[in-house]
């Protein structure tokens, strides 16, 4: 079994899906000849040609809008947006068309489109290259939002996203792109969208995170192992959210900390708390804590480490919840 990082795992998934289904095409800025600024699409144009792997003009609304047209016509486009901070020019297409067409055409037209974009901070990047705005997209009825945290999940989830009959936005934690390697089966496999993963079982407290924050939770849990047995949930899909896995875990542990890089106010942490309150409030032994980014613009890199949640802030939150 090959040992792959996230970039390689996604690349493999794209190769296999393109080989399997002629309707799958890849388009975006610099994705063809160069293979993308993070090299995620390396080799695809060579293998599948310029008709199926297209370098586009520099225009995100154009990329997503034409992908929408291709998808409703019968293709299965995988559009790459170069960075999280540059999805916004396409936001109108996403919210006004991509997410709505099935409903407004009463199912006559559908949009099986995947929009991939690197997301989150932690690489000392330029402004607009470190955004974690998953809540914006999860808030859009009709969109699915997926964020893998490991190479294995990245491959399986992307294949599911490509085969999904509905539009999926697929955020790739760029900080982890080459940071973790693990065994990734060569053969095709899928991981269901809408299903969270229990990364580590535990009895005392539930830690919920996604993307690069899963690893921070693992670090915190390891340091806390003599004090608290942590159950870690990698949410993997922001929308539709796996309420059941969350609630079942909190019913067992009675304690919960939610970690996200995104700004605190209006972040998905609040949504998760609401779901726990609706289904398991009487199981809680302490108020739920959130460890999050701040309600500020993502800072330039001098302040990046002060902005990003880390294991020490997570440990402080675990302590607070456990000692309530």
Partner 1 sequence: MIEHFNPLEGKFLQVLDKGGHVYKILEPKLSTNDLKKIYETMVLTRMADDKALKLQRSGRMGTFAQVLGQEAQVAVGLAMKKEDWFFPSFRELGILLVRGSPLEKFYLTFMGCEEGNRTPKDINNFPVCVPVGSQTVHAVGAAMAAKIKRDKVVTVVAFGDGGTSEGDFHEAMNFAGVFKAPCVFFCQNNQWAISTPRSIQTAAKTIAQKAIAYGFQGIQIDGNDPLAIYVATKEAVEHARQGKGPTLIESLTYRIGPHTTADDPTLYRTEKEVKYWQERDPIKRFKIYLQKKGLWTKKYEDNLIKKCTKQIEDAVAKAEKIAAATKPEDMFRYMYEKMTPVLQEQLEYLHESLGEKEA
Ligand X SMILES: Cc1ncc(C[n+]2csc(CCOP(=O)(O)OP(=O)(O)O)c2C)c(N)n1
Name the residues annotated as catalytic. 129
**Binding string, residues 87-106; x marks residues near ligand X by CB under 6 A:** --x-----------------
* Rounded distance between C-alpha atoms, residue 119 and residue 170, angstroms: 9
Q: How many CB atoms lie within 10 A of CB 40?
A: 25
Tell which residue, 70, 53, 54, has the closest CA to residue 113. 70
The rounded distance, in Å, linking the Cα atoms of 74 and 72 is 5
Find the binding residues for ligand X in span 11-30 (CB under 6 A).
29
**Contact call for residue 319 and partner 1 (CB under 8 A):** no
Cβ closest to ligand X, residue 133 vs residue 259 = 133
Q: How far is the CB of 126 from ligand X (least distance, A)?
A: 8
The most distant pair of C-alpha atoms in the chain lies apart, rounded to whole Å, by 60
Taking the least distance from each CB to partner 1, the nearer of 86 and 109 is 86
Using CB under 6 A as the binding rule, whether residue 130 contacts ligand X is answered as no
166 binds, among ligand X, partner 1, none (CB under 5 to 8 A by kind): none
Q: How far is the CB of 249 from ligand X (least distance, A)?
A: 39
Question: By CB under 6 A, which span of 43-51, 82-90, 200-208, 279-287 interacts with ligand X?
Answer: 82-90
Q: Which stretch binds ligand X (CB under 6 A): 15-23, 81-89, 184-192, 285-293?
A: 81-89
Q: Which does 316 bind (CB under 5 to 8 A by kind): ligand X, partner 1, none?
A: partner 1
Of residues 2-61, those binding partner 1 (CB under 8 A): 29-30, 33-35, 37, 55-61
Q: Which of ligand X, partner 1, none does residue 188 bind to, with CB < 5 to 8 Å depending on kind?
A: none
**147 Cβ contact partners less than 8 Å away, ≥ 6 residues apart:** 119, 134, 170, 171, 172, 173, 210, 211, 235, 236, 237, 238
Q: Which is nearer to ligand X, 89 or 254 (CB)?
A: 89
Rule CB under 8 A: is residue 264 a binding residue for partner 1? yes
Pick what 297 binds: partner 1, ligand X, none; C-beta below 5 to 8 Å, kind-dependent: partner 1
Selection from 216, 212, 182, 214 nearest residue 199 by Cα: 214
Residue 301 DSSP one-character state:
G
Q: In the chain, which residue ranges form alpha helices assigned H by DSSP?
A: 6-20, 44-48, 60-73, 91-93, 101-104, 134-138, 151-163, 213-223, 243-253, 268-280, 304-307, 311-322
Q: Is 301 in the site for partner 1 (CB under 8 A)?
A: yes
Does 297 interact with partner 1 (rule: CB under 8 A)?
yes
97-136: contacts with partner 1 (CB under 8 A): 124-129
Q: Is the dihedral of CA 64, 69, 72, 77 positive or negative?
A: negative
What is the chain's alpha carbon radius of gyration, rounded to the nearest angstrom?
19
CA 100 to chain centre: 21
Place of tokens 């060569």: 186
The residue from 17, 18, 67, 85 that contacts partner 1 (CB under 8 A) is 85
Q: Which stretch binds partner 1 (CB under 8 A): 114-122, 139-147, 272-280, 293-301?
A: 293-301
96 in contact with partner 1 (CB under 8 A): no
254 binds, among partner 1, ligand X, none (CB under 5 to 8 A by kind): none
Show Cβ contacts of residue 203 under 8 Å, excluding neighbours closer than 6 positions: 229, 231, 252, 253
Query: How far is Cα 307 from Cα 145, in angstroms, rounded to an integer?
Result: 24
Which residues of this chain interact with ligand X, rule CB under 6 A? 29, 58, 60, 82, 86, 89
Which residues of this chain interact with partner 1, rule CB under 8 A? 29-30, 33-35, 37, 55-62, 85-86, 88-89, 124-129, 264-265, 294-297, 299-304, 306-307, 312-313, 316
């Amino acid at each position: 079994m090959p040992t792959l990082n996230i970039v390689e795992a996604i690349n493999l998934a794209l190769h296999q899906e393109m080989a399997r289904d002629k309707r799958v095409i890849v388009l975006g800025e610099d994705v063809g000849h160069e293979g993308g600024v993070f090299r995620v699409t390396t080799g695809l144009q060579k293998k599948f040609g310029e008709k199926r792997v297209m370098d586009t003009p520099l225009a995100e609304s154009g990329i997503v809008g034409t992908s929408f047209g291709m998808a409703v016509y019968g293709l299965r486009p995988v559009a790459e947006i170069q960075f999280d901070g540059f999805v916004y020019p396409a936001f109108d297409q996403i919210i006004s068309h991509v997410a709505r067409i099935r409903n407004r055409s009463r199912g006559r037209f559908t949009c099986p489109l995947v929009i991939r974009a690197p997301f989150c901070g932690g690489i000392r990047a330029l402004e607009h290259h470190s955004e974690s705005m998953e809540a914006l997209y999860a808030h859009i009825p009709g969109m699915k939002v997926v964020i893998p945290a490991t190479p294995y999940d990245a491959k399986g989830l992307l294949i599911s996203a490509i085969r999904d009959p509905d539009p999926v936005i697929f955020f790739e934690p760029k900080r982890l792109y080459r940071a973790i390697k693990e065994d990734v089966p060569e053969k095709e496999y899928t991981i269901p969208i809408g299903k969270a993963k229990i990364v580590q079982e535990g009895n005392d407290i539930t830690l919920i995170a996604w993307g690069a924050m899963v690893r921070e939770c693992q670090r915190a849990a390891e340091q806390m192992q003599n004090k608290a047995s942590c159950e870690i949930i990698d949410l993997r899909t922001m929308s539709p959210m796996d309420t059941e896995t969350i609630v079942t875990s909190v019913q067992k542990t009675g304690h919960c900390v939610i970690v996200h890089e995104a700004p605190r106010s209006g972040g998905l942490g609040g949504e998760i708390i609401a779901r726990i309150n609706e289904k398991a409030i009487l199981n809680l032994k302490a108020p739920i804590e959130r460890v999050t980014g701040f309600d500020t613009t993502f800072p330039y890199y001098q302040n990046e480490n002060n902005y990003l949640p880390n294991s020490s802030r997570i440990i402080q939150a675990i302590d607070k919840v456990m000692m309530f």
